[in-house]
Amino acid sequence: MSARIDLEELAKRESEQTEWKESVADVNDVVATLSAFANDLQNLGGGYVVCGAKETKDEHGFPKLARTGLTASRLKEVENTVLARCRDRVSPPVAPLVEELESDDPQRRILVFLQPATGAAHTFRRNDEGAKHFVRVSRSTIEARNGLLKDLLVRKGALEPWDRRPCNAATVGDIDLLTLRDALERMGVYTPDRGVEPYLADGIQISPFVPPLCIAEPLSGVLRPRNFAVLLFGRSPQRFIPGAYAIFSAYPGRDRTDPVARRFEIAGTLLEQARRLRELLDAEAVTLFDKTNLEEPNAEKYPRRALQEAMVNALAHRDYELVDPGRFTSYKDRIEIASPGPLPIGVTLDDLRTRAVTPRWRNQALAWFLARLQLAQAEGQGIQTIRSSMKAAGCPPPEFDATEVSVTCVLRAHPRFESLTPTTKRAPAKPRPVRKRALAAKQPARKGTRKAGKALKKKTAASKPARKRLARMTKQAPRPPRQETPKAVGGKSVKKVTAGKVPGAQKSRAKRGRRG
């Protein structure tokens, strides 16, 4: 009996490398798990399938291994069936190692299959179903689809990474030579004697770390630019890569319910998008001054270094095969950056939240150019730089979330900005009614004002007879004259005084005569 495999040690290892089958109900599950261990998506080196044992817990809650075992006939049946299906239904075929171990019952044995990782992408065909790729994710064996399948094929070399693939719809004429020349000058590899055209030839590499910008088709010999060349130096990248654009939105509140918002759809090359996004994000990094805080009077709402690193990471490591754009959303208290696509293989959400991340590139050629153009860090220090910049500025630590659709980074504002109350805009006051005289007094004197006044007087005088004629036509009684109360002047009535001689009247006429 071989003792090369210790079940107690297997129970202590990660569950991703061990599959426990107490009673083998379906042999196809064992074969699918063995093909998943051969694919080795998580780069763990392979795994074990243990038939006739399972993990349990004792009365105190500690892990315990139950060695039930299989009968001799059942053990031989399972072994022969599994090996036959690994040979006939797995493509390329696999040949796992087989070990028998003792169980708690002397009449039973434990069957262990050991499958090391291989360099190929294996498929398994269940009964009448088609061939499928299986991978190991945590404790489960699942079918590789969409992003998982692409990552598996790229890792195994069956599919070239997206940024290195040729863009079959583009030609060399779709490359902007001025943009390429500017990038080569910034990288220090451009010389006027050589020009730009030689870098577009097949087989000419700017660096040993990246492939040539263009590749010739095998039959026709037509030069086709690669995807990273179109994205960095193309005249219109969105014609060939529909999802290669970004959307920047700014909301004054804490959510999207506010009807008033700013929205910018940013297209162009990746370098132009990075430049425009930097301008918009820098506008959000305002500084607040506090006179009462003598130690730190100035406080930035967001550190500019953290904003730039988060923005470049979202552009460089997103999945450009998806048509969803990158989204940069600014709220009152935070900025959310969503990058389409799941996390790269080998990077988990716990790595983003707790510790430094090992450098992983979904688009290696794209990341190399961004690093040489001093827009990104190729050493895997972007996440650490975001954390340290937020901490140095006094801001809360960054928050990360990841799904199969996107990866989100949330940068919270400085606590000093949380205490600010939004200023409500007052409604404009209604204008007071202006009197005609006051309005006339405020108006400047114009030329010909006297003529206009005379014309107005004539018009008013001409309107008096018209009113009298209108009164006669409507047969209105004329208004009686005002009767004044007679007043006594020197004991006589007004009529008598008027009819008689007024004292002093002759003297007045005499005076006028002497003057004449």
Residues 306 and 361 in one domain: yes
Of the candidates 257, 253, 232, 261, the residue with the CA atom closest to the CA atom of residue 244:
232
Final residue in a domain of this structure, among 210, 235, 260: 235
Neighbours of 179 (CB within 10 A): 18
Reported pTM: 0.66
Neighbours of 503 (CB within 10 A): 9
CATH of the domain at 47: 3.30.950.30
Say what the pLDDT of residue 363 is.
Answer: 87
Asked, for residue 467, whether it belongs to a domain, the answer is: no
What would the mean pLDDT of 258-274 be, rounded to a whole number?
Answer: 90
How confident is the model over 179-214, as pLDDT tens digits?
A: 999 999 999 888 888 889 999 999 889 988 899 999
Residues 40 and 145 in one domain: yes
Residues 409 and 358 in one domain: yes
Say what the pLDDT of residue 64 is.
Answer: 76
Handedness of CA 37, 135, 62, 59 (dihedral sign): negative
Say what the pLDDT of residue 484 is.
Answer: 53
Neighbours of 200 (CB within 10 A): 18
- Find out whether 127 and 99 touch, Cβ atoms under 8 Å: no
Asked, for residue 475, whether it belongs to a domain, the answer is: no
Q: How far apart are CA 252 and CA 262, in angstroms?
A: 9
Q: How far apart are CA 142 and CA 122, in angstroms?
A: 13
Residue, of 464 and 261, whose pLDDT is higher: 261
- In the sheet that holds 46-51, the strands lie side by side as 18-21, 46-51, 109-116, 97-102
Asked, for residue 509, whether it belongs to a domain, the answer is: no
Which ranges of 406-499 would DSSP assign to H, the alpha helix? 415-418, 436-442, 449-473, 494-499
How confident is the model over 96-120, as pLDDT tens digits?
A: 999 888 888 888 898 999 999 998 9
Residues 177 and 130 in one domain: no
- Find out whether 271 and 232 touch, Cβ atoms under 8 Å: yes
Does pLDDT of 408 surpass 60? Answer: yes
Say what the pLDDT of residue 170 is.
Answer: 94
How confident is the model over 219-232, as pLDDT tens digits?
A: 888 999 999 999 99
Asked, for residue 111, whether it belongs to a domain, the answer is: yes
Provide the domain count of the chain.
3
Say what the pLDDT of residue 461 is.
Answer: 55
Mean pLDDT score across all residues of the chain:
81
Of the candidates 360, 317, 314, the residue with the CA atom closest to the CA atom of residue 42:
360
CATH of the domain at 389: 3.30.565.60
> How many helices and strands (H and E) does the chain possess?
16, 20
- Find out whether 23 and 69 touch, Cβ atoms under 8 Å: no
Does pLDDT of 90 surpass 70? Answer: yes
Residues 214 and 305 in one domain: no
Residues 141 and 67 in one domain: yes
* Cα pseudo-dihedral 188, 192, 198, 200, rounded to 10: 60
Cα 458 off chain centre by: 75
Asked, for residue 457, whether it belongs to a domain, the answer is: no
Residues 93 and 216 in one domain: no
Cβ-proximal residues to 238 (8 Å cutoff; 6+ apart), any chain: 244, 245, 267
Residues 250 and 302 in one domain: yes
Q: How far apart are CA 310 and CA 327, in angstroms?
A: 12
Residues 293 and 409 in one domain: yes
Q: How far apart are CA 134 and CA 124, in angstroms?
A: 8
Neighbours of 364 (CB within 10 A): 18
Final residue in a domain of this structure, among 418, 444, 463: 418
Residue, of 23 and 280, whose pLDDT is higher: 280
What would the mean pLDDT of 445-449 be, rounded to a whole number?
Answer: 52
Residues 229 and 266 in one domain: no
Point out the least confidently predicted range of 138-147, 262-271, 284-293, 414-423.
414-423
Residues 269 and 354 in one domain: yes
Say what the pLDDT of residue 493 is.
Answer: 47
Does pLDDT of 269 surpass 50? Answer: yes
Residues 196 and 138 in one domain: no
Say what the pLDDT of residue 20 is.
Answer: 86
Instruction: State both tokens at 498.
Output: 């008027």
How confident is the model over 115-146, as pLDDT tens digits?
A: 999 989 999 998 878 899 999 887 889 998 87
Instruction: State both tokens at 364.
Output: 């290696």
- Find out whether 368 and 208 touch, Cβ atoms under 8 Å: no
Point out the least confidently predicted range of 230-234, 416-420, 440-444, 454-458.
440-444
Q: Give the confidence band of 489 by pLDDT, cuts at 50, 70, 90.
A: very low
Domain of 176? 164-235
Sequence-distant contacts of 21-27: CB under 8 A, at least 24 apart: 21/49, 21/50, 21/51, 21/52, 21/54, 22/52, 22/53, 22/54, 22/66, 22/68, 23/52, 23/68, 24/51, 24/70, 24/74, 24/78, 27/78, 27/81, 27/82, 27/85
Asked, for residue 452, whether it belongs to a domain, the answer is: no
Asked, for residue 262, whether it belongs to a domain, the answer is: yes
Q: Give the confidence band of 498 by pLDDT, cuts at 50, 70, 90.
A: very low
Say what the pLDDT of residue 287 is.
Answer: 84
Asked, for residue 448, whether it belongs to a domain, the answer is: no
Final residue in a domain of this structure, among 235, 266, 288: 235
